[in-house]
Amino acid sequence: MSSPSETPPVVAHHPALRHHFDTMATQKDSSLLGMWVFIAQEIMFFGGMLAAYAIYRNVYYDAFAAGSHHLDVKLGTINTAVLICSSLTMALGVHAAALGKRKATVLFLLLTIALGSVFLGIKVVEYADKFHHDLVPGPRYSAESLHGAHGEALSADTARHSELFFALYFGLTGLHALHMIIGVPIIAIMAWKAGHGRFGPAYYTPVEVTGLYWHFVDIVWIFLFPLLYLIPHHA
């Protein structure tokens, strides 16, 4: 029998538990909360450019519709599907990590990287087309390849304002692509760690936090796709 004055027995704890946390549960909640706070910041970060987009689209509607119709709806739709698939594989990767399935975790994370790379590859094809048609804002910008709702040439004003559409197109999709370019190596590190048995049912927080980030990037695209690619000529 130990008397109350003796030092308490050392409780064996998980090696991933940092000394300033009482339990794995509070540590995990803190990490996830931190990611949600970051995501809240990210929403405001994208929000500024979205507000600029909303205003200019309403002021220069014809220019934005003409610019939007030059974008490839087929490629945009494929990319949306690719990104949703990558969100599914990410969710399944986190799921596998929670169940301690090492091989499945690595497989799903690698699939997520592959799908993310496909998305970025298609984006490169789309950007190259804009360069080819001189639709990149700057001194070489030319609206000659754009046309109105009935195939007519754009007025000088509309042609000039269409540059604003492409500035916001590159700004929004570029910022989104940058998030994916940052996300891919992070997922690769998670896959490497998972492959080396760093995670298990008691500790897979890094995988889950990475998943939150990746799903957020997916959500941004869910809004960007209809806003940029699907502006109707009518209305």
Partner 1 sequence: MPEHAADPHAEPHDHVVPVGTYILVFLALMVGTAVTVAASYLDLGIWNTPVAMLIAVTKAGLVVSFFMHLKYSPRLYWIWLGAAVFFLAHLLLGTGADFLGHLFLNLGSPGT
- Cβ proximity to partner 1, 163 vs 218, nearer residue: 218
Cβ proximity of 177 and 147 under 8 Å: no
119 binds partner 1 (CB under 8 A): no
> Which letter, b or e, does each residue of 123-157 get, where b requires 16 or more Cβ atoms within 10 Å of its Cβ?
beebbeebeeeebbbeeeeebeebebeeeeebeee
Q: Residue from 10, 24, 101, 178 that binds partner 1 (CB under 8 A)?
A: 24
14 binds partner 1 (CB under 8 A): yes
Phi/psi region, residue 85 (left: phi>0; alpha: psi -120 to 50; beta: rest), is: alpha
Q: Which residues pair with 177 in a beta bridge?
A: none
49 binds partner 1 (CB under 8 A): no
**What are phi and psi for residue 106, nearest 5 degrees?**
-60, -45
Tell which residue, 82, 91, 85, 171, has the closest CA to residue 121.
Answer: 82
152 binds partner 1 (CB under 8 A): no
181 binds partner 1 (CB under 8 A): no
Residues that bind partner 1 (CB under 8 A): 11, 13-14, 22-26, 28-29, 32-33, 36-37, 39-41, 43-44, 47-48, 50-51, 54-56, 58-60, 73, 77, 80-81, 84-85, 87-88, 90-92, 95, 98-99, 202, 208, 211-212, 215-216, 218-219, 222-223, 225-227, 230, 232, 234-235
